[in-house]
Amino acid sequence: MSKAAEGAAPMVRARNVHKSFGPNEVLKGIDLDVAPGEVVVVLGPSGSGKSTFLRCINHLESIQRGFIEVDGEQIGYALRGTRLNRLSDHAIAVQRRKIGMVFQQFNLYPHMTALENVVEAPIGVHGQPRAEAQANAMELLARVGLAEKANAYPRQLSGGQQQRVAIARALAIRPKLMLFDEPTSALDPELVGEVLSVMRDLAKQGLTMIVVTHEIGFAREAADRVVFMDGGVVVEQGPPQDVLGNPQHPRTRLFLSRFIEKV
């Protein structure tokens, strides 16, 4: 079921990515390609570096070795001839504008309504005319099932509704790549489904997505590829039926065995 066009330039290209916090080496050489339109689900035990890797992709964290490219551009650096220059804060901000991100804690702007949250970046960062941005935002809010909550403030919404607004907010910048960091982990169990169903729709529509999650069911249904990380390296990856159904590595098996009762 891979939608990844064979041989097309990858949307994400990560090579030998190393990241340490002080003496603590969290990423120990990650290689990963994500094709345009591909949905990659990253699984792994707590502390294995999943969030850190995701945050390196849009340079919320800087890496110490290797490189990451998104849409053919190296993130955080520019090669001038044979010299690799660090980019300015502003240039990095510009690079981030084509990458959407959804956080575990939603991080909606609490002093703005749902609609204002969604139009903030399109108007303020991408210079879209207000009327056009609002019409587009209403469409997106309708798409996540929240058209009638456009004027509600985040605190007046349930966790699941807040996360759906956060997804609409990230989609509003028309991202080439969407990063999800455990988007359902802060939600009550009965609210997880509504967020996953929105994400499944996005996956079907061909958005390139990297999703860190513990929802094995979502990985099985929506992922083109499952990546299993442990101890800062990619231990195993492949189509969901292989990695989830017939894991090769003992650590993958151990990790998945804890979810057996849930599956």
Partner 1 sequence: MEISSGEAALRDVANAHQPPAWGRWLLWAFVLAVAANFAWIVAHNPHFGWPIVGQWFTEASILRGLGVTLGLTVVAMTLGTALGLVLAIARMSKDRLFGSLSGLFIWFFRGTPLLVQLIFWYNLSTLFPEIVLKIPFGPVLASWNTNDLITPMTAAIAGLSLNEAAYMAEIIRGGLLSVDKGQVEATDAFGMTRARALRRVIIPQAMRSIVPPTGNQLISMIKATSLVSVIAMADLLYSVQNVYNRTFEVIPMLMVAVIWYLIITSILNIVQGFIERYYARGERGTVSADKVPVRVEEPA
Ligand X SMILES: Nc1ncnc2c1ncn2[C@@H]1O[C@H](COP(=O)(O)OP(=O)(O)OP(=O)(O)O)[C@@H](O)[C@H]1O
Does residue number 50 form part of the binding site for ligand X (CB under 6 A)?
A: yes
Cα separation values, 56 from 50, 74, 129, Å: 10, 12, 31
Does residue number 23 form part of the binding site for ligand X (CB under 6 A)?
A: no
What is the C-alpha to C-alpha distance for residues 8 and 215, in angstroms, rounded to an integer? 29
- What's the distance, Cα to Cα, between the start and end of the chain in Å? 21
Q: Is 183 helix (H, G, I), strand (E, B) or coil?
A: coil
Q: How far is the CB of 64 from partner 1 (least distance, A)?
A: 18
Q: How far is the CB of 182 from Mg ion (least distance, A)?
A: 6
Cβ atoms 213, 182 nearer than 8 A: yes
Does residue number 52 form part of the binding site for ligand X (CB under 6 A)?
A: yes
- Give the distance, in angstroms, between the CA of residue 235 and the centroid of all CA atoms in the same chain: 20
Q: How far is the CB of 244 from partner 1 (least distance, A)?
A: 29
Q: Which of 47, 110, 124, 206 binds ligand X (CB under 6 A)?
A: 47
Q: How far is the CB of 195 from partner 1 (least distance, A)?
A: 17
Q: How far is the CB of 98 from ligand X (least distance, A)?
A: 23
Does residue number 46 form part of the binding site for ligand X (CB under 6 A)?
A: yes
Select from 93, 95, 74 the least CA-distant residue to 85: 74
Cβ atoms 52, 61 nearer than 8 A: yes
* Nearer to ligand X (CB atom), residue 62 or residue 241: 62
Binding flags for partner 1, 124-163, as an x/- string (CB under 8 A): xx---xxxx-xx--x--------xxxxxxxxxxx------
Does residue number 51 form part of the binding site for Mg ion (CB under 5 A)?
A: yes
Q: Is the dihedral of CA 14, 57, 123, 195 positive or negative?
A: positive
What is the C-alpha to C-alpha distance for residues 197 and 2, in angstroms, rounded to an integer? 20
Residues of this chain that bind partner 1 (CB under 8 A): 58, 60, 89-90, 93-97, 99, 101, 103, 105, 107-112, 115, 120-121, 124-125, 129-132, 134-135, 138, 147-157, 173
